[in-house]
Amino acid sequence: MAISFYSADVKNVLLAKSAIRQWVSSAVYNEGLRMGHISVIQCSNLYLLDLNKRFLKHHHFTDVITFPIVETGRVSGEIYISVEQSARQAAEHKHHPQKELQLLVIHGVMHLCGYSDKTKKQIKTMREKEIQYLNNRPEKLLLVSRETHGK
């Protein structure tokens, strides 16, 4: 199965796609699941706000929205990431924008794996999973952050 990358209304800024495919596949496998097809779509705040209003009935900005696609026995779906919000959050947390994008990708993947973040307990579990998989990123993803820092 595969992971595809798209950009809706912004420039594609997510780097090292091959390494991300390997990393995400490994995370899904480590969760005891099988890969289906995942689409990662980079977009603007307004694009994501429109999706949030139309499909989730939320009237606020967000950084990532995940839409699971039911495919028996496989992890499949669409992950929409606001490039603008991602850059803002990276600056707030004082880390590299690629790391923030990778965090949002793995956050979306964990949603597709069945994790939720509605309650405090669920949020804690989600954060633990994000940290676990961020700490297990391939060296190629870490190099991308170092090489592109300041660019």
pLDDT at 143: 81
pLDDT at 151: 43
Domain segments of the chain as ranges: 2-148
pLDDT at 149: 53
Predicted TM-score (pTM) of the model is 0.93
* DSSP for residue 72: T
The CATH number given to 2-148 is 3.40.390.30
Averaged pLDDT, groups of 10, the chain, 151 residues long: 93 94 96 96 97 92 94 92 97 94 98 96 97 93 70 43
pLDDT at 72: 80
Q: Spell out the residues 6+ positions from residue 25 whose beta carbon is closer than 8 angstroms to its own.
A: 3, 35
Q: Where are the beta strands (DSSP E) in the chain?
A: 2-7, 34-43, 64-68, 74-82
* Tokens matching residue 142: 């870490």
Burial (CB count <10 Å: 0-12, 13-18, 19+), residue 101: buried
Measured in whole angstroms, the distance separating CA 94 from the mean position of its chain's CA atoms is 19
